[in-house]
Amino acid sequence: MQKLTLKKIARELDVSISTVSKSLKDSPEISEDTKQKIKAFADLYNYRPNTIALSLKNRKTKTLGVIIPEIVHHFFTTVVSGIEKVANEKGYTVIIGLSNESFEKEVTNMEKLANGSIDGFILSVSRETQLKKDYHHLLETIDHGMPVVLFDRTIPEIECDKVVVDDTEGARNAVKKLLDAGCKNIALITTEAHVNVGELRTAGYKDALIESGKGFSEDLILKLKDEFNEEGMEDNLNTIIELFLRNNPQVDGIFAVNEKYALTAMKASRSLGKDIPRDIKVIGFTDGVLSKYATPSLTTVSQHGVQLGEKAAELLIRRLEEDDYEPPYQTVVVETRLIERESTSIT
């Protein structure tokens, strides 16, 4: 039994297609009688209008395109679930594209979706895109009048709506917490400079230290190359962090820009015979699930991914439904919150 269409109903009931269409929309033009008959039939056979045809006709799809660098990643799934929630509430569908941190995949994915499949984008750029600084695909889609909302890993040069975490502020608070807990030599474990959020968090780290009057030392900042984020590099990551800590035995506090770095730092500290939190206190910037279950559990700067996703979807949908899609663009900042756990408790 194939899908029912207006045409088939019309043929079956021996009326015109427009009569069927109008009846199903309960148009006052049509007599109650015919409407009843048609509705009953449509109901019985469970008629549903074809979404694709509607999209073509209305020139809008009521679907949002979401492009993320990775899906096996707690933060991003968290954001997606926020997007999905708001989108569904407002009658939108969500299409997900993965860039897998590749510039090329990001571009092709966007191009594919941009050709009619979606009404607007929500995306977080891939690491490679940040590195190459090639944003033509973003500029072009915006130029074509398709709204784009960037989140988390955003790009200052691009004018569009954005939703970000208060990376700098969150990092500053984390470091302040370490200072308050009595740490004298706080190390930072971060990513290479081209990752936007890494930069911002680094700035927050420096800010807090400067404000405290101690200042910071580049020696205590460990910048890790992208390759350490890849699958199977765990041991190397561990080795390098351990070496860093061995060379800087004065370190008694660590702020890491993500969960993996934080946990690995805890592990490395332990293998150097340091107790956490007694000898070294640790805070990670993350929403991840590992933190809660770690031993000791890890104090984190929570990113509120769901909320971020919700905001992004709201922003995009508002753009789509505003009659005149025009700037000014806005940047919404989602606040972080320090979740204190065992790794910073005062002993």
Partner DNA sequence: TTGTATGCGTTATCAC
Partner DNA sequence: GTGATAACGCATACAA
Give the residues lining the site for a copy of itself (CB under 8 A). 1-3, 46, 48-53, 55-56, 61, 63, 71-74, 77-78, 80-81, 84, 88, 93-98, 105, 111-117, 140, 143-145, 263, 289-290, 293-295
Between CA 273 and CA 280, with CA 276 as vertex, the angle to 5 degrees is 85
CB 171 within 8 A of CB 179: no
Cα(281)–Cα(272) distance, integer angstroms: 14
| Separation of alpha carbons 289 and 297, rounded Å | 11
Question: What binding mask, one character per residue, do residues 81-120 give for DNA by CB under 7 A, x or -?
Answer: -----------------------------------x----
Cβ proximity to a copy of itself: between 186 and 237 the closer is: 237
CB under 5 to 8 A by kind: which of a copy of itself, DNA, none does 342 bind? none
Pick from a copy of itself, DNA, none: which does 6 bind, CB < 5 to 8 A by kind?
A: DNA
Note whether 59 binds DNA by CB under 7 A. yes
Beta carbon nearer to DNA, 117 or 229 = 117
Interface pattern 115-154 for DNA (x via CB under 7 A)? -x--------------------------------------
To which residue do tokens 């460990």 refer? 222
Contact segment (CB under 7 A) with DNA among 22-30, 88-96, 187-195, 283-291 equals 22-30
Contact 105, 126 (CB under 8 A): yes
Q: What sign does the CA torsion over 273, 275, 276, 280 have? A: negative
* Cα-to-chain-centroid distance, residue 100: 13
Runs of H (alpha helix) within the chain: 6-13, 17-24, 32-44, 51-58, 74-89, 103-114, 127-132, 136-143, 167-180, 196-211, 234-247, 259-271, 290-293, 305-321
Q: Which stretch binds DNA (CB under 7 A): 19-27, 128-136, 275-283, 312-320?
A: 19-27
Binding of DNA by 19 (CB under 7 A): yes
Question: Encoding tokens for residue 328?
Answer: 């000014």
N-to-C CA span, the chain: 71
Helix (H, G, I), strand (E, B) or coil at 284: strand
158/179 with CB nearer a copy of itself: 158
| Binding piece for DNA, criterion CB under 7 A, among 16-24, 65-73, 182-190, 313-321 | 16-24
User: Shortest Cβ distance from residue 87 to DNA (Å)?
Assistant: 21
Contact partner at residue 80 from DNA, a copy of itself, none, CB < 5 to 8 Å by partner kind: a copy of itself
Site for DNA in 25-54 (CB under 7 A): 25, 28-31, 33-35, 49-50, 53-54
Assigned token pair, 6: 């207006």
Q: Could you say which DSSP state residue 211 is in?
A: H
Decide which of a copy of itself, DNA, none touches 143; Cβ closer than 5 to 8 Å per partner kind: a copy of itself
Among DNA, a copy of itself, none, residue 154 binds (CB under 5-8 Å by kind): none
CB of 172 to a copy of itself, least distance (A): 27
Q: Of these partners, a copy of itself, DNA, none, which one is at the site of residue 21 (CB under 5 to 8 Å by kind)?
A: DNA
DSSP per position, 76-117? HHHHHHHHHHHHHHTT-EEEEEE-TT-HHHHHHHHHHHHTTT
Closest distance of CB 305 from DNA, Å? 36
Contact between 169 and 204 under an 8 Å Cβ cutoff? The reply is: yes
28, burial (CB in 10 Å: exposed 0-12, middle 13-18, buried 19+) = exposed
Given the rule CB under 7 A, which residues bind DNA? Answer: 3, 5-7, 15-19, 21-22, 24-25, 28-31, 33-35, 49-50, 53-54, 56-57, 59, 116
